[in-house]
Amino acid sequence: MKSEHKTWFTKWFLNNKVTVVLLNVLLIFLIIAAFIKVSYIFKPIQQILGIILPPLIVAGILYYLIDPLIDLLEQRCHVKRVWSISIVFIVILAVLVWFILSLIPIIQNQATSLVHNIPQYWRTLQKMLINLSQEPHLQRLHLANKLSPLKLTKSFSNSLNGVFNNALGNITSAVGVVTNVVMIILTAPFVLFFMLKDDHKIKPSIIKYMPERLQASVSDTLTEINQALSSYVRGQLTVAFWVAVMFAIGYLIVGMPYGVLLGIFAGICNLIPYVGSAVGLIPAIVLGLINGQQMLLYVIIIFAIEQTIETRVVSPLVVGNKMNMHPVTTIFVLLVSGGMFGLIGVIGGIPIYAIIKIFVGKIFAWIQRNSSWYDSDEEQSTDSTTN
């Protein structure tokens, strides 16, 4: 059969992959530009989401922590789900009361003492830095001028003034934050109760609004997202809890000042993957330097023991490799999300990336099944022969 003559339009526009890609990219940018032009339409939606999302996120995090206990009571102990939820809520309330009555006074006393002793610690740290700059081996680096008491005090005072001015300038926003926290505390438990009670109805209620040909794919996608979020939330919070406990116990054993406060700070910082442990260690190293070389050695030993237990025992048992993310990818995600959204982005960047990765993987798999671009040479030659 004589082949059909191809015009330049067919060659460069209809059958050219680069042109098709560029046209699709152009279409996407045009759609984005159109949405930007009418962004005022979506402001009410943004306000509604700003009210709904915080308690929903808090309830979702607690859901992934509590749901295994509810399932255990329901399946192993044959307790009805509503009663299981009630029992777990009562236990959590009792733990919170114990925490408030027992640990909050300790944390408050240590925080008050730390604030009161900051000037003394600052003077001690200044003397140590000056002595360090006068070491013969370090004088070649000309550190004496950079570590002078005047410059250090001026830099420290400027930092405090900046923090103080920002605090004064954000009193109104601080009141708003307190109001939001109170609303979250009041509404999140109710949302959490119904999420635990009706969790088996959530996915079917979403799937029923989808076209029948997409229901299986949407169900698989929701399952993957649920598994990714559950593994991350349970893993990170469980590891952070045990990190806080290990550091607090280690610091208390060696007599480190503010051991409980430092342990809790290390646990919170551990929510940030990879870099969190190093950030949480900085205050302990500074206090160890101020309290003598022996205390600094104790801090290093505690950190080494904690890292060994965490990496060899806690993390493999709790987290494993369920997120399936390369460390370099994780670091880049943290840099980008932290630069765009600050601390919230650093903490939430990994699970959001995991969700986006699932969606992109599903879309790419659909393109592979339906596009001729990914056909093998044999398939393409067979199709052309058939045509």
What pLDDT is stored for residue 145 in this prediction?
Answer: 54
Paired tokens of 269: 């910082």
Q: Which H or E run includes 148? A: none
Select from 68, 54, 51, 59 the least CA-distant residue to 189.
Answer: 59
Check: CB of residue 159 under 8 Å from CB of residue 153.
no
Check: CB of residue 308 under 8 Å from CB of residue 142.
no
The distance from CA 76 to its chain's CA centroid, rounded to whole angstroms, is 33
DSSP 213: G
pLDDT (tens place) for every residue of the chain, 387 residues total: 444 556 666 666 666 677 777 888 888 889 888 888 887 787 888 788 778 888 888 888 888 888 888 888 888 888 888 888 888 889 888 988 888 888 788 887 877 877 777 777 777 777 776 666 666 655 555 555 555 555 555 555 555 555 445 544 444 454 556 677 778 788 888 888 888 888 888 888 888 888 888 788 888 888 888 888 888 888 888 888 888 999 999 998 988 888 888 888 888 888 877 777 788 888 888 888 888 788 889 889 998 998 888 878 777 776 555 566 677 777 788 788 878 877 777 778 888 888 888 888 888 887 777 766 666 655 555 555 555
What pLDDT is stored for residue 102 in this prediction?
Answer: 81
Spell out a b/e string for 57-84, using b for 16 or more CB atoms within 10 Å of the CB, else e.
ebbbbbbbebbebbeebbeeeebebeeb
Paired tokens of 378: 């044999």
What pLDDT is stored for residue 377 in this prediction?
Answer: 54
SS3 of 192-205: HHHHHHCHHHHHHH
What pLDDT is stored for residue 80 in this prediction?
Answer: 85
Select from 298, 278, 280, 279 the least CA-distant residue to 288.
Answer: 298
Give the separation between CA 239 and CA 320, rounded to whole angstroms. 11
**Whats the size of the chain, residue-wise?**
387
Task: Report the sign of the C-alpha dihedral through residues 312, 313, 316, 319, in that order.
Answer: negative
pTM higher than 0.75, yes or no?
no
What pLDDT is stored for residue 234 in this prediction?
Answer: 84
Cα-based angle 7, 10, 11 (whole degrees, multiple of 5):
85
DSSP for 327-368, please give it.
HHHHHHHHHHHHHHHHHHHHHHHHHHHHHHHHHHHHHHHHHH
Cα-based angle 333, 236, 84 (whole degrees, multiple of 5):
135
What pLDDT is stored for residue 2 in this prediction?
Answer: 44
Give the separation between CA 243 and CA 141, rounded to whole angstroms. 38
